[in-house]
Amino acid sequence: MKKVLIFLFTVLLAVSCSKSDGGESPSSYVQPSLVRLTMPSEPDSLDPYISTASDTEAVMHNVYEGLVLFNEDGEIVPGLAESWQISDDGLEYTFHLREGVTFHNGKHFCSEDVAYSYGLLSGLTTGSSLSSRFSTITEIDTPDDYTVIIRLASANAAFLEATRIAIIPSGYRECATSPVGTGPYKFIEYVPGQRIVLERNDLYYDSSRAGRIERAEVYIMTDESAIVTALQSGQLDMAQVTGMDAEILEGKFTIHSNPQNMVCLFALNNAVPPFNDIRVRQAMNYAVNKENIINGAFDGYATRLDSNFSPVMGLYYNSDVENYYPYDPVKAKELLAEAGYERGFSFTITVPANYQQHVNTAQIIAEDLKAVGIDARLQLVEWGAWLEDVYTNGNYETTVVGLTGKLDPYEILVRFVSDYSRNFFHYDNSEFDRLIKEAMVESDESERIRLYKDCQMILTEDAVCVWTCDPNLVIATRKDLKGYKAYPLTFTDISSLYYEEETS
């Protein structure tokens, strides 16, 4: 408790001592040019080509922009490219770029910036691709300052969605320390362990998306009670909260609650015993009570999942997987005995300590498994260590985490392809791989939908993980802070926010 109080005091002191551009203390509620909000984890990197953490992208998407953007319905819309054409064979993408765009460092945006960015991503200019999503690029042409032609070695139906990745200035190499983009907000500073500061880009090209609030201070806070206290004391204007805390704040704050298109899961390393036995993985699915997780870890603010897709994926979601593994500890014991583990076994759940809901989920899972004779020990690790050891290197037994949704289903399912670089599940199914490859080049949308639904069923039948729920994103905003928008991807849209004078 002493540690929590010290942390809270430090955060509140830092916030109350900060100044807006006008030099007034933001705690007085008289400065509408400042918004103070939170993010739940330390940025993994400010470089958009290195960062993989959704919490980082949620903030930095205000700074960086891609050739395309996405709207509240998850639809692809023009970004730095005003329009585009795709060849009939799916191998050539022609982008017509927006004129009159200026980077935050003053450089005028043109086709050389796109060529530079995609040269890095594809490895064409360095010899080493930064992302498998761009490794099939074979050629980048810039016939003029505002046209870019990108050619692929093989068709990829998800490539257009991938082009929402950031474009950076040609030759610029300092994004990790001094991010430069074209977005409605520009980067000012990052103080590790404390905050990220952004300021409005007054030269932004699109008046309909231009920011209204001059300055945003994003505080890195993981303690739920500290966040609620900071909101109640006027030190924060907006924050992600738990469902239980939302009920406490209801009435004094506006509460926004929406599905996140996020898949929370109990991941099993399919390459290590006993989780390399499908019977054990299936037993784990029967042994976990998902309703207990939804109510105990998410205060009821979540949708049960039995697949790696959330129902918000609409046409691509396979409803046939629903309740595929009902809570059945007796069935779980039968499968364990069949697999030779009638006396159970012991293992470790590695959990990122900064996400209390994941910690709570792991504790509930451990209690459920105890009922079928399995001993689960929790190992809490820092977020950076989790990203390195689990997500990147796949060095773990089991873990609890949430995976953000994507706009294109391929980008969700590719995580389970056997040779995918970040397949930390170590899942290997040749039939799944084959269907994914077919879907990637399939131009008929109805056939793509069928293939993706088949892939979901395979993952569920193989019990790759224990899918648990899609938790609602619950956001509390002060009453006069308006304009909050919910997206099907993790994105805190600061440009839409504004203050409105309350009338009695």
**Three-state secondary structure readout of 446-481:** HHHHHHHHHHHHHHHHCCCEEEEEEEEEEEEEECCE
CB contact set of 11 (below 8 Å; sequence gap of 6+)? 194, 219, 221, 226, 230, 235
CATH 3.50.50.60 fits 2-41+183-252+479-499, yes or no: no
Threshold 0.85, pTM exceeds: no
CA-nearest of 375, 326, 316 to 347 is 375
**262-471: which CATH topology?**
Dipeptide-binding Protein; domain 3 (3.10.105)
Concatenated DSSP letters of 246-258: HHHHBTTEEEEEE
How is the chain split into domains, by residue range?
2-41+183-252+479-499, 68-162, 262-471
Residue 16 has pLDDT above 80, yes or no: no
DSSP state of 390: I
**68-162: which CATH topology?**
Dipeptide-binding Protein; domain 1 (3.90.76)
**pLDDT tens readout for residues 65-92:** 999 999 988 889 999 999 999 999 999 9
Residue 26 has pLDDT above 50, yes or no: no
**pLDDT tens readout for residues 286-342:** 999 999 999 999 999 999 999 899 998 888 999 999 999 999 999 999 999 999 999
Tokens of 134: 């761009």
Tokens of 372: 């079928």
- The predicted model gives 183-199 an average pLDDT of 97
DSSP state of 98: P
For residue 119, which amino acid is it? G
**Three-state secondary structure readout of 113-182:** HHHHHHHHHHCCCCCCCCCHHHCCEEEEEEEECCEEEEEECCCCCCHHHHCCCCCCCCCCCCCCCCCCCC
**237 CB burial (10 A radius; 0-12, 13-18, 19+):** buried
d(CA 30, CA 24): 8
Higher pLDDT, 314 or 178: 178
Residue 2 has pLDDT above 80, yes or no: no
Residue 282 has pLDDT above 50, yes or no: yes
Residue 362 has pLDDT above 50, yes or no: yes
Bond from prior residue into 274 cis (ω within 30 degrees of 0):
yes
**Within 251-407, where are the H helices?**
278-287, 290-298, 329-338, 356-370, 383-386
**pLDDT tens readout for residues 382-425:** 999 999 999 999 999 999 999 987 888 988 999 999 999 899 99
What mean pLDDT is reported for the chain? 91
- The predicted model gives 492-496 an average pLDDT of 97
* Per-residue confidence (pLDDT) for residue 465, from 0 to 100: 97
* Per-residue confidence (pLDDT) for residue 29, from 0 to 100: 43
